[in-house]
Amino acid sequence: MEQKEFESHCIESISEVLQFLSGKWTFLVLTELLKQPQRFNQLRRNLDNVNTKGLTDTLRNLEEQQMIQRQVFPTVPVTVEYSITEKGKAFSVVFEQINRWKREWDSFSVQKTS
């Protein structure tokens, strides 16, 4: 594949992914659900009391994108639990690469300024 064709495909893919992951809380919700399934209020607390609308919108978007799933339990009152899907778990590789990049370049910038 030519460099220009690669760049075009890469930029297009990144743009598409960022479109559906662009919400303010998206990455933090995914990282929380990678730890374990959680109920709404548990997620809210773990995210330093994100506002209800912001969390609701984020959860709906992630569910629509099939990154998470919403499971309703027939209890009184109804219990809803959110968990990561296989598609969402596969995205954890991106988080690992971001973390690796940060560690590598943080240490580089510290060495450079010393």
Which tens digit of pLDDT belongs to each residue from 38-89?
999 999 999 997 999 999 999 999 999 999 999 999 999 999 999 999 999 9
Write down the pLDDT at residue 1.
Answer: 52
Predicted model pTM = 0.79
Tokens linked to 114: 């010393």
One-letter amino acid for residue 5 of the chain: E
Distance CA 61, CA 40 (A): 15
Amino acid found at 70: R
Task: Enumerate domains of the chain plus CATH numbers.
Answer: 23-113 (1.10.10.10)
- Containing H/E element for 11? helix 3-20
Integer Cα distance of 9 and 43 in angstroms: 35
